[in-house]
């Protein structure tokens, strides 16, 4: 009997770097999983410049999805996909396309057809081409939009460590009516899916995640929803990240997805 460690691929979201998964990867590894947190195409390594602009600027939703599909398919076992924000939408697209054995979508970027409050829709609207191929957030806006549930000094630390720009083309793919921002919500032959929301999230409000959850209402595959009170979009990186990570670990175990499996 061969025992293999279950791989977990972490997919980060908009305005954050792959470093946003550092603590998660370490915690999952301690529980026996093999962890991978690759960056987006053109993303620089931790500690260096955030992006290679001429590569990163061309990243759209389909490019991002194919990038992580390639990562998942390169592994010797089907991985668990854990995504945040745009990464959560990518995780849903992949598990609905038979890539990955299970998916966790944390504060998922809006799926096409899911209505957004007007103020939120503006946050996902790309700037004009004259503004350049990348959109960055200031530390102040990062605090207001992503890290609104933590104090200023913590937000500033998170910004300095994890922030990076977003390609304008990617935002265009996500802006209403967002025909590219689709996932197969009716596929019955997929692995379990967990949707997670922060009830104080300003970038992906809890109401949006609940609307996405309802899109899966007619699907017979396992689809669960977990809401965290008093948490914002930074729930995967701020001081409360551990409670979210531990809930995900417990959920995986409850659905028979163990860190080690016999083959």
Predicted pLDDT at 263: 56
Statement: residue 127 has pLDDT above 80: no
Predicted pLDDT at 130: 66
Q: Are 16 and 84 in contact (CB under 8 A)?
A: yes
Residue 225 φ/ψ, nearest 5 degrees: -130, 135
Tell the burial category of 166 from Cβ atoms under 10 Å away from its Cβ (0-12, 13-18, 19+).
Answer: buried
The answer to whether the peptide bond before residue 188 is cis (omega within 30 degrees of 0) is no
Q: Are 120 and 178 in contact (CB under 8 A)?
A: no
- Please state, rounded to an integer, the average pLDDT across all residues of the chain: 93
Model pLDDT for residues 216-245, shown as the tens digit of each residue? 999 999 999 999 999 999 999 999 999 999
- How does DSSP classify residue 100? S
Name which of 86, 76, 93 is nearest 123 in CA terms: 86
Instruction: Give CA–CA dist 249/252, Å, rounded.
Output: 5
Which pLDDT band, with edges at 50, 70 and 90, does 115 fall under?
confident
Model pLDDT for residues 32-72, shown as the tens digit of each residue? 999 999 999 999 887 777 788 889 999 999 999 999 999 99
Mean pLDDT on 114-131: 79
Model pLDDT for residues 136-180, shown as the tens digit of each residue? 999 999 999 999 999 999 999 999 999 999 999 999 898 877 788
Instruction: Give CA–CA dist 162/21, Å, rounded.
Output: 10
DSSP state string for 184-213: -TT-SSS--EEEEEETT-SSS-HHHHHHHH
Model pLDDT for residues 203-216, shown as the tens digit of each residue? 999 999 999 999 99
Q: How far is CA 34 from the centre of its chain?
A: 18
Name which of 100, 45, 97, 98 is nearest 75 in CA terms: 100
Model pLDDT for residues 181-190, shown as the tens digit of each residue? 999 999 999 9
Statement: residue 82 has pLDDT above 90: yes
* Partner residues linked to 82 by β-bridges: 10, 104
Statement: residue 3 has pLDDT above 70: no
| Element at 71 (helix H, strand E) | helix 61-73
Statement: residue 1 has pLDDT above 60: no
Which pLDDT band, with edges at 50, 70 and 90, does 85 fall under?
very high
* Partner residues linked to 84 by β-bridges: 106
C-alpha distances in Å from residue 259, one per residue of 33, 121, 199: 5, 38, 30
Statement: residue 110 has pLDDT above 90: no
Predicted pLDDT at 76: 94
Tell the burial category of 156 from Cβ atoms under 10 Å away from its Cβ (0-12, 13-18, 19+).
Answer: middle
Model pLDDT for residues 64-79, shown as the tens digit of each residue? 999 999 999 999 999 9
Instruction: Give CA–CA dist 183/94, Å, rounded.
Output: 8
């Amino acid at each position: 009997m061969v025992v293999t460690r279950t791989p977990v691929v972490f997919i980060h979201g908009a305005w954050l770097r792959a470093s946003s998964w550092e603590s998660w990867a370490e915690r999952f590894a301690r529980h026996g999983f093999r962890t991978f947190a690759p960056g987006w195409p053109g993303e620089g390594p931790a500690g260096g410049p955030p992006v290679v602009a001429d590569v990163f600027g061309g990243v759209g939703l389909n490019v991002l999805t194919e990038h992580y599909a390639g990562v998942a398919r390169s592994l010797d076992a089907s991985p668990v996909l854990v995504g945040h924000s745009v990464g959560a939408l990518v995780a849903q697209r992949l598990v609905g396309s038979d890539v990955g054995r299970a998916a966790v979508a944390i504060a998922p970027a809006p799926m096409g057809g899911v209505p957004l409050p007007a103020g939120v829709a503006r946050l996902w609207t790309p700037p004009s081409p004259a503004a350049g191929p990348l959109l960055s957030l200031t530390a102040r806006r990062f605090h207001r939009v992503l890290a609104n549930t933590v104090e200023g000094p913590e937000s500033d630390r998170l910004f300095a460590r994890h922030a990076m720009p977003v390609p304008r083309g990617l935002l265009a793919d996500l802006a209403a009516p967002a025909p590219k921002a689709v996932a197969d919500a009716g596929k019955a032959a997929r692995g379990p899916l967990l949707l997670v929301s922060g009830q104080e999230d300003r970038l992906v409000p809890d109401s949006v995640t609940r609307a996405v959850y309802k899109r899966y209402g007619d699907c017979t595959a396992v689809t669960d929803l977990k809401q965290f009170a008093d948490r914002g979009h930074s729930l995967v990186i701020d001081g409360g990240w551990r409670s979210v990570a531990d809930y995900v670990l417990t959920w995986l175990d409850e659905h028979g997805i163990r860190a080690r499996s016999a083959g």
